[in-house]
Structure 1
Amino acid sequence: MSRLGEKFTKEKVLLALAAPLLALVAAFLLSSVVIAATGKDPLHAFVVMIDFGSKSDSQVWIINKAIPYYLSAAAVAIGFRMNLFNIGVDGQYRVAAFFAAVVGGALSLPGVLQIPVIILTAMAVGAVWAGIAGVLKTTRGVSEVITTIMLNSIAGSLIGYFLSEDRLAVKDGNLFHTPNLPASGHFFTIPTDPKPVYGTVLIAVVIGLAYWFVLGRTRFGFDLRAVGRSEPAAAASGVSVRRMVVTSMLLSGAVAGLVGMPTLLNESFNYGTDFPAGVGFTGIAIALLGRNHPLGMAFSALLWGFLERTGIQLEFEEYAQEIVGVMQGVIVLSVVIAYEIVRRYGLRIQQRRVGAELAAEARTGEKAEVGA
């Protein structure tokens, strides 16, 4: 390898390490300032968080919490890689989980059939719900941001309509929920002490691997990224932009349909009025934090779970309840800003190097002309 190549490789590695380190330092300092502003000791807060988060029951809780977060981030990231903003993951996973719960509660098949039917139903419903935004964008030019936000509201209203005792739900005390899934619809768990890890973590692993392979190692993934960077250039190379937009929204929605599966198949076994909401919006932050990279999003989902888990303990230590939310926002902003600063710095270095090489070639050419 030439010296120039070695220098370029070293600079690339240093720049890759500089961004997360800068983000980490900035997030730590800013969070400390915020905690200190409330009149509490920031160092004690971090000690409490690390100590409580290192306990085995907290680690299991964090992993289980990170599963839907990761799936939500993956769904958002598929759109991000194509410069599409699927803000409707929250509605997509809720309407998908609802109808999957209805179908699963109405059937009683062997586990090898029951669980795949529930999962495929969720993916199909999520894909259709997201596909509406894709079709409207390609046929009517409607922004996917507007349509997906509106579809979130429609999803909530649709679920509210059917989630009544005289339609698709049963009443249990003061709550309404779909009929419980039979035992064959319960996903397995991984035995750990003191509580088990949800077996649906394998779904997250499979989605992460598929995301990495399809978007990074296939022609489809190349076309998708090409459209995201420049639609005119992609169209000039023979890529159907409209088809890619619709396909991307369908894939994003299908993955979004899986977000509710950890809760449905490993925890609640029905869809009720207390089914968790808001996970889709959390996925946007985690996708940004993980830079749309499968491993980056995995670490981000675990970090998000860690902050939520340890935030509970901070409240017992009489820290402000809003501290965790502020820390989450600070971390996301620090990562986005740090990566942008490093990106611009690296681009400036590259421009200077190219300028220096062109100047050196020009001087060499002048000397050659003088010698001739």
Structure 2
Amino acid sequence: MKKFDKERVLLGLAAPLLAIVVAFLVTALVLAVTGKEPFNAFSIMFDYGSKSDSQVYIVNKATTYYLAGIAVAIGFRMNLFNIGVDGQYRLAAFFAAALGGALTLPGPVQIPLIILCAMLVGAMWAGIAGLLKVTRGVSEVVSTIMLNAIATAIIGYLLQQGRLGHLDQAGTKVSTKPIPESARFFEFPTQPAPVWGFIVVAVIVGVAYWFTLSRTRFGFDLRTVGQSGSAAQASGVNVKKMVLTSMLISGAAAGLVGMPTLLNDSYEYSGDFPVGIGFTGIAIALLGRNHPVGIALGALLWAFLERGSGQLEFEGYDKEIVGVIQGVIVLCVVIAYEVVRRYGLKRQQRQVGAKLAAQARSNGTGNNGNGNTDKQEVSA
């Protein structure tokens, strides 16, 4: 690896590590001010998070968070702020659950249909925001926020008895019809609980994301439009088409966010289906700097912090302290990236300046030598 590449990697790691360290220091200060022992709280979190059942929980939770982070990162690379991942994955999971409960097909046929349905619904819902942006200039931030609210209303309307909802035998919960056992995703038989098999799909999505952005013409055009739309337009890239396509792909990835829970855990959509994962994906994408490996580490960290929050409550600490850690991490990540970026830019400028100065001195020495030689020849 070249020296420049090593420096770039180190600078890339410096920002999230700096943010995490500062976040824990700020949290320790908050705990100390409130009269609580900060290091004891951190010890409780790490001890509980290292248990075998916690490790399984963290991996399963991180699978969902990772998919949300990838969905958000796709928009970020295009300089698009897709806040609508939350509504996209919930609406996608709802219709996928309704489809899965209505069909009775062999698993190898029904599982891909459920996943495809979720991706199509997510893409279509995100496509509305993309279409509004390229045709009417509506900010994707505004449109996706409104679409989140509309998605919630649609789910609330359809998830009723007599429509797509079914009342359970106890008469206490309305949900979609349960997915048959043949259409449930496989699991890894770990102890004390299984690891969701959808982690394999998450890995495939991450590899596809990296390959598309780094090794294809489409990925190059996408990154170019994200950095400078006018420059991309001048080079022949259809910017509006790229914006719409990126929103569709981001929505399709968002449609997968609810699939680990649906196909490996709940097997139905009800009022207690997880919400808010789309907003968590924004924080994780920022923490991972839109890189698939960084997003994976950010998802694991987020799941670890959430796991530790429950144990803190039993030990007399407020579980909201984990929210403080997460919030400070997000804030510090933005600041740390900017600090590291400026440091890296100044360092590159100094290196370039040193090389130019050395080259100028070398050229100057050569000219003087030639000049002296010429003078000697004229004297002779």
Separation in 1 of the partners of 2:13 and 2:64? 28
Name 2:377's counterpart in structure 1: none
Match status 1:268 vs 2:256: no
1:73-112 correspondence runs (5 A): 73-112=69-108
1:247 lines up with 2:245 in the alignment: yes
2:46 to 42, 46, 50: 50
* Structure 1 position 222, deviation (Å): 0.7
Contact 2:185/2:263 (8 A) holds in 1: yes
Matched, 1:123 2:149: no
Between the aligned partners of 1:265 and 1:17, the Cα distance in structure 2 is: 35
Find out whether 1:63 has 2:59 as its counterpart: yes
8 Å CA contact 2:32, 2:38 repeated in 1: yes
The structure 2 residue matched to 1:284, chosen from 282, 285, 292, is: 282
The amino acid of 1:328's aligned partner reads Q
1:28: how far off?
Answer: 2.4
Name the SS of the counterpart of 2:133 in structure 1.
Answer: helix
User: Structure 1, residues 194-228: CA drift from partner, whole Å, max 9, x if none?
Assistant: 11111111111111111111111111111100100
In the alignment, the residues of structure 1 paired with residue 108 and residue 6 of structure 2 have an alpha-carbon distance, to the nearest angstrom, of 51
CA contact (8 A) 2:16 2:287 kept: no
- CA drift of 1:53 comes to 0.6
- Whether 1:345 and 2:359 are equivalent positions in the alignment is no
Identity %: 67
Counterpart-to-counterpart distance in 1, 2:222 and 2:195: 34
Task: Quote the Cα distance in structure 1 between the aligned partners of 2:9 and 2:158.
Answer: 54
1:316 to 299, 314, 319: 314
| More displaced stretch, 174-183 vs 20-29 | 20-29
Q: Which amino acid aligns with 1:326?
A: V
Instruction: Return 22-31 or 298-307, whichever deviates more.
Output: 22-31
- In the TM superposition, residue 192 of structure 1 has moved relative to its aligned partner by 0.7
1:151 matched to 2:147: yes
Alignment of 1:28-47 (within 5 A): 28-47=24-43
Q: Is the 8 A contact 2:16 2:288 kept in 1?
A: no
Secondary structure in structure 2 of the residue aligned to 1:168: coil
Is structure 2 residue 359 aligned with structure 1 residue 356?
Answer: no
Q: Distance in 2 between matches of 1:236 and 1:228?
A: 14
State the 1:10 CA deviation: 5.5
1:137 to 133, 136, 147: 133
Q: Show the counterpart of 2:226.
A: 228
CA distance in 2: counterparts of 1:14 and 1:50, whole angstroms = 26
Write the deviation string for residues 9-34 of structure 1: whole angstroms up to 9, x where unpaired: 56445434433442333222112112
**Mapped partners of 1:150, 1:282: distance in 2:** 18
How far did 1:368 drift?
Answer: 5.1
What per-residue deviation string (whole Å, max 9, x for no partner) do you get for residues 320-352 of structure 1?
121010011112222222222111011012112
Task: Give the letter aligned to residue 334 of structure 2.
Answer: V
Q: By how many angstroms is 1:369 displaced?
A: 5.2
Any gaps of 5 or more consecutive residues in structure 2? 372-380
Query: Counterpart in 1 of 2:305?
Result: 307
Tell me which of 210, 213, 220 is aligned to 1:212: 210
Q: Report the secondary structure of 1:349's partner residue.
A: helix
TM-aligned CA deviation for residue 367 of structure 1: 5.1
How far off is 1:46 after superposition? 1.1
Tell whether the 8 Å contact from 2:70 to 2:253 is kept in structure 1 after alignment: yes
Instruction: Indicate whether 1:200 and 2:198 are aligned.
Output: yes
Instruction: Report the CA distance between 1:247 and its aligned residue.
Output: 0.6
Total equivalences in the alignment? 368
CA distance in 2, matches of 1:313, 1:324: 11
Q: Are residue 171 (structure 1) and residue 167 (structure 2) matched?
A: yes
TM-score, normalised via structure 2 length: 0.93
Pair 13,228 (structure 1): closer, same or farther in 2 beyond 3 Å: closer
| SS of corresponding position for 2:274 | coil
CA pair 53-16 structure 1, distance change in 2 beyond 3 A: same
Separation (CA, whole Å) in 2 of partners of 1:231 and 1:360: 37
Relative to structure 1, is the Cα distance of residues 152 and 295 closer, same or farther in structure 2, using a 3 angstrom cutoff? same
Return the letter of the residue paired with 1:226.
Answer: T
Deviation at residue 314 of structure 1 after TM alignment: 0.4
1:48-73 CA-partner distances (Å, limit 9, x unpaired): 11111111011111111111111111
Letter of the structure 1 residue corresponding to residue 197 of structure 2: G
Larger Rg: 2
Where 1:358 maps in the other structure, the secondary structure is helix
Cα-to-partner distance string for 1:83-113 (whole Å, 9 max, x where unaligned): 0010000000011011111111111000000
CA gap 1:92/1:13 in 2 versus in 1, 3 angstroms: closer
